[in-house]
Amino acid sequence: MPDLSYLDALVLGVVEGLTEYLPVSSTGHLTVAEKLLGLSVDDPAVTAYTAIIQLGAILATLLYFVKDIVRFAVAWFRGLRGGPARTDPDYGLAWAVIIGSIPVGVVGFAAKDLITGGLRSLWVVAAALVLWSAVMVAAERIHAAYDRRGTVRGEHSVTPVDGLVIGLVQCLSLIPGVSRSGATISAGLARGIDRVTATRLSFFLAIPALTAAGLFEAYKQRADLVRLGLGPMALGLVVAFVVAYASIAWLLRFVASNSLLSFVWYRVGLGALLAVALIAGWLTAT
């Protein structure tokens, strides 16, 4: 396979930045984009590249939420010493993020060969886009019930149990097409957490999960990554960072007054279109 071109890197960086935090599946979109660009989706170097440009999106998250992250870290370290500091809501939220980050790390490591191999199929992406949309609809209905009862919870009520449940659901996002943000936001809504808090928690949970995946793949496939080209790789990281930062700001404004149903229609439409393309032979599954 030829080295990754700058155009390839630009396209993949934009796709990553746009879709990483929207509940539409960045992995699914990257897989489709790679196929359209003529790249081999099961090439270890391409798989590693898609994980590495996620670091650009993570840097955007760190910059956007740096004040919150510092606040949570300070509350967590103070709470470890015991005393009244453990009653600080930020202490509980910090534990929710820590605990919620563990399951996806364990499952991701244990099933890494399946994730980077058998699941890297456009048939999997198409099916997951449609099927997880039903879960998103169900989460919205559950959240509406909380809203009618007036029991929707805010950021200061997030508990470690919330983190564990959302973290377990996040494991399903290892299936291309499910969407990590779609899984975590849906889980948060189903737990009765308000939309903005569920979305912010999704961002916080992304930091350890995506950072670990990106660094692991960078080390594992370091020789292949050089073959793809260091220049295009740097371009993809920068583009993903810029686009992801804008996506974060937009999504937080959007979810403040809108449901996830708009994304559901898009997901179902894309899944159906992919299925048609595969059946017609316009695209190959791997």
pLDDT bin (cut points 50, 70, 90) of residue 200 is very high
* Distance (Å, whole) CA 21 – CA 240: 11
The token duo for 150 is 């007036």
pLDDT attached to residue 121 = 83
pLDDT attached to residue 3 = 64
User: What is the mean pLDDT of the segment spanning 125-145?
Assistant: 95
Identify the CA nearest to 78 among candidates 101, 94, 66: 94
User: Who has greater pLDDT, 262 or 219?
Assistant: 262
User: What is the mean pLDDT of the segment spanning 230-247?
Assistant: 92
- 3-state secondary structure string, 74-137? HHHHHHHCCHHHHHCHHHHHHHHHHHHHHHHHHHHHHCHHHHHCCCCCHHHHHHHHHHHHHHHH
pLDDT above 70 coverage of the chain, percent: 97
Contact at 8 Å (CB) between 3 and 228? yes
pLDDT attached to residue 280 = 93
Burial class (CB in 10 A: 0-12, 13-18, 19+), 39: buried
pLDDT attached to residue 1 = 44
User: Who has greater pLDDT, 120 or 175?
Assistant: 175
* Distance (Å, whole) CA 127 – CA 45: 25
- Count of alpha carbons within 13 Å of 132, Cβ hemisphere only? 34
pLDDT attached to residue 171 = 93
Counting DSSP H helices and E strands in the chain, the numbers are: 14, 0
Judge whether residue 243 has pLDDT over 80. Answer: yes
Mean pLDDT for all residues in the chain: 89
* Distance (Å, whole) CA 252 – CA 275: 31
* Distance (Å, whole) CA 20 – CA 211: 13
Burial class (CB in 10 A: 0-12, 13-18, 19+), 7: exposed
pLDDT attached to residue 284 = 84
pLDDT attached to residue 34 = 87
Type of residue found at 2 = P
pTM for the predicted model, two decimal places: 0.89
